[in-house]
A and B are shown apart, each in its own frame.
Chain A
Amino acid sequence: MEFKDKVAIVTGASSGVGYAIADTFAKNGYNMVLAARRIEILKELAGKLNQQYGVQTLPVKTDLTILDDIKNLFKETREKFGKLNVLVNVAGEFPAISFVDSDPEEFITRHEKGCKFNVECCCLCKQIGVGYAYGKQWRNY
């Protein structure tokens, strides 16, 4: 199969869009690194994809708000597969709050949290992932 040796990381793989992407990539022959906070669900998905499509899978418990967890995700990927072709950032959240009716502290906190999770995590994953895709060592991990 054309994609037999390719490797993809999916963040937010435990449900919804991330889960569907993990399934579609595995079906197309990608070896999968599955990242989310809920490791039990990831392990179950990893087993299912391995059994159903014969690809190798690596579940990694990852909280994307923690830099060490992001570093560990790429480290484990390198140790198991030694390569990375595709990174899909799915994890995100809806920090719903009224602009008009909330108090300023609460609004700012929620706003920061939303941006940290949705933007910074995507950029961090990309920066580390791009360095990795070039085959560079990124700060020795």
Chain B
Amino acid sequence: MESNGVIINISSDAGLEKKVYPNQVPYHSAKAGVNHATRAIDLETRSKGVRAFAIAPGNIDTPLLRKTIEGDSDLVELIEQKAGSLDSFYGKILKPKDVADRVMNIVQNPDRYPNPVIEMKSFEF
């Protein structure tokens, strides 16, 4: 069936089983909720020609992530151990444009994505 509408939630790998971050219980609840709610929504809407997707990326270099990391000295230390420096970490992780390109690809080819939850891997700490 030709898709006449696409809805995309930018979720997080924090909503996937394999990934947990420190001090982020509310975020994990929320993003796991977004991912699974999206599966249920897609089940209802798909037959009507509307697809629903949740993209679950790892770390993305955004003002929000930088603010969160730089306000948490434990996190800064952890990242410096893993990546050498904060700048090196920011250089390795996903960029907003990577996510935007994936969203456009999904919208243009929804039938290539049977699974409503789509993981995007990034550099991890």
- Cβ of B34: which chain A residues have Cβ within 8 Å of it? 118-119, 122
- Cβ of A16: which chain B residues have Cβ within 8 Å of it? 60, 62-64, 96
Candidate in B7, B48, B107 with the most chain A CB atoms within 10 angstroms: B7
Would you call A85 and B30 a contact (CB within 8 A)? no
Do most interface residues of chain A lie in helix, strand or loop, or is the interface mixed? helix
A96 within 8 Å of B by Cβ?
yes
Would you call A88 and B10 a contact (CB within 8 A)? yes
Given A118-B34, A119-B34: A111 and B25 interface contact (C-beta under 8 Å):
yes
Q: How many angstroms between the C-alpha atoms of A85 and B30 in the bound complex? A: 26
Q: How many angstroms between the C-alpha atoms of A125 and B64 in the bound complex? A: 22
Q: A133: which of B5, B99, B101 is its contact (CB, 8 Å)?
A: B5
Would you call A17 and B10 a contact (CB within 8 A)? yes
Q: How many angstroms between the C-alpha atoms of A113 and B29 in the bound complex? A: 11
Number of interface residues of A (CB under 8 A): 44
Min CB gap A72→B, angstroms: 19
Q: A134: which of B26, B50, B100 is its contact (CB, 8 Å)?
A: B50
Identity of the chain A residue whose Cβ is nearest the Cβ of B5 in the assembled complex: A133
Would you call A115 and B9 a contact (CB within 8 A)? no
13 CB contacts below 8 A, A to B, read A17-B99, A20-B96, A20-B97, A21-B99, A23-B100, A87-B6, A89-B9, A98-B23, A118-B27, A130-B7, A130-B45, A130-B50, A130-B52
Q: Which residues of A contact B (CB under 8 A)?
A: 12, 15-21, 23-25, 28, 84-90, 92-99, 107, 110-111, 113-115, 117-119, 122-123, 125-126, 129-130, 133-134
Q: Which residues of B contact A (CB under 8 A)?
A: 4-10, 12, 23-27, 29-31, 33-34, 37-38, 41, 45, 48, 50, 52, 60, 62-64, 68, 72, 95-97, 99-101, 103-104, 107
